[in-house]
Amino acid sequence: MVRVHELLRSVWDEPRPANAPPPAWRDWAFVGVLAVVAVLEGVLRTDLRSPVVSTVVAVGLLPTLLWRRTRPLPTIAVAFGVCAVVPVLTGSEPELNVMAFMLILPFSLYRWGSGREAVLGSVIMLAKLGFSLALGTVTLTGGLGGVFLISTACALGAALRYRVRARMRELDQAKLLERERLARDLHDTVAHHVSAMAIRAQAGLATSDAEPGAAVDALRVIESEASRALAEMRTMVRVLRQNEAADLSPNPRVADLERLAGRAQFGPPVDVEIVGDVEDLPPSVGTAIYRLAQESVTNARRHARHATRIEVRVVADDRAVHLRVSDDGEPFTRPAGAQGHGLIGMIERAGLLGGTCEAGPNPDRGWTVTATLPRTAG
């Protein structure tokens, strides 16, 4: 009983879909065509008991189609209210076949109306059918047929409504995933170079008094890292603007890890060791391994105080690729409850490929990042 009450309550509280389209030229053209058809049917048919009334009612109710999306409940009330009054005045229902256009109204009610509008509109439509049955202008068979047609129109409207909603949820999820991907790519590429520039600038300032040439060396490193960061930013912007079906950033491979070892101009030296066959790895796996190692090395250079070495080891076997990055410095103590965006991005990047990524302090000294990715990840 509680569940039924909650279900009814959720239906009643259902909001209207956003951005209901106003009347367009197609709606006006459709109404115009139906008006011509209604007049021709009223003139040419000889079996109508009240041709003038039927024609006037049909043409008079056609404008409700223009506001069926923005005002679904008032159009239902007007259309079915008029059709309920006509039998009282003429003794018969409107007889034109063109009146089938009224099935569009319950469809629009369930497609564009709120939950309470749908409930109230359904009550109005059922009340009209019951009133016609009581007057005897509609037979029981005709009433059941009307219920079937109206229910079918309502079901189609509800089905389209929730199909569009499901589609919008899929689009929102895709946008969220793309935002997360952009965040990872920005952090793993541009932030890496910015961190390098900041570290080298600090080192240059600290040693500038004792070594006047240190500032010049720092500027060279900063200029080099800034050029790389600018190039990668341009790559991302070009892909986004041109809507290219390509990765948002360059695609380094595992073999490119040697670049990290070669950048010993600042921070502790980096030793890179690659064991196993890494040439036939899928591009997504190779890029992920490189980015995970790059972020780990960047974090070690930034946070591992008094570190003398950073070791990067990649071991590839028939089933997976294993990455281990460790240093021997004093680990940076992050405030309780805080978690860097880099670690979050690393865990997400590994998880998207069906792998794992963990990071934590060593038992004695230093910090270690381990990651495992399956070779078959796409």
Q: Are residues 127 and 183 located together in one domain of the fold?
A: no
Task: Please give the backbone phi and psi of residue 208, each rounded to the nearest 5 degrees, phi first.
Answer: -65, -35
d(C-alpha 262, C-alpha 271), whole Å: 9
The domain of 69 spans 11-138
Q: What is the mean pLDDT of each run of 10 residues along the chain (378 residues)?
A: 69 82 92 93 87 90 93 94 88 86 93 91 92 87 90 93 87 74 67 68 68 70 74 68 51 79 65 86 85 84 79 90 89 53 77 87 87 81
Global model pTM greater than 0.85: no
Q: CA-based Rg of the chain, rounded to a whole angstrom?
A: 35
DSSP class of 22: P
Residue 197 belongs to a domain: yes
Same domain as 329, residue 270: yes
Instruction: Give the domain CATH number at 275.
Output: 3.30.565.10
Give yes or no: residues 118 and 187 share one domain: no
Element of type H or E holding 89? helix 72-90
Whether residue 216 is contained in a domain is answered as yes
CB atoms within 10 A of CB 115: 16
- Order of strands, edge to edge, in the sheet holding 320-327? 270-275, 310-316, 320-327, 367-374, 356-361
- For residues 70 and 118, the answer to whether their CB atoms sit within 8 Å is no
Buried b (16+ CB within 10 A) or exposed e, 194-208: ebbbebbbebbeeee
If one counts the domains in the chain, the total is 2
Give how far Cα 104 sits from Cα of 28, 74, 111, Å: 15, 14, 10
d(CA 107, CA 123): 15
Whether 252 maps to a domain, the answer reads yes
Q: How far is CA 368 from CA 229, 314, 330, in A?
A: 26, 13, 12
Task: HSE, CB side, 13 Å, CA atoms: give it for residue 324.
Answer: 12
The answer to whether residue 149 sits within a structural domain is no
Domain stop point among 138, 169, 203:
138
**pLDDT on residue 5:** 67
Q: How far apart are CA 192 and CA 195, in angstroms?
A: 5
Residues paired with residue 316 on neighbouring β-strands, in sequence order: 321
